[in-house]
Amino acid sequence: MSQFGLTILKSIARFATGTTHKKESNMAPVDLTKVLKEEHEGKWVVLTEDYKKVIAVGDSVDEIAKYNGKGVFLKVTFDPIFL
C-alpha cells in the first residue's frame, strides 16, 4: 500500500477513535489498514461495528443508505493534516 493510502487510513482511524478531538475517548484505537484498501479512496464505506469488515462500498452515501443502522459509515478521504 502506498504512503498516500496509509495516510488516508491513519486519518480515518484518528477520527473513528476520537483522537482528533481534545476530549478523551474510551474507545481503543482501531487499525483500519487491514480493512480499508486503496480502492476505497474517495468512496463511502459501511464497516461492521467492530471495524473488522467492509459491509458495503458506494460512490455516494445514497448508494449505501440501505445499510443505515447496520454498521459504521465512513467517507474514505485523503487528509494532508496527518502527513
Residues 31/13, Cβ–Cβ less than 8 Å: yes
How far is it, in rounded angstroms, from Cα 60 to Cα 45?
9
Nine cell digits for residue 1: 500500500
Say how many C-beta atoms besides its own lie within 10 A of residue 42's C-beta. 11
Rounded to a whole number of angstroms, the distance between the first and last alpha carbons of the chain is 15
Instruction: Tell me the pairing of strands 72-75 and 54-58.
Output: unpaired
Query: What pTM was computed for the model?
Result: 0.62
Q: What is the pLDDT of residues 4-51, one digit of tens each?
A: 444 455 555 555 555 444 555 666 777 888 898 889 989 999 999 999
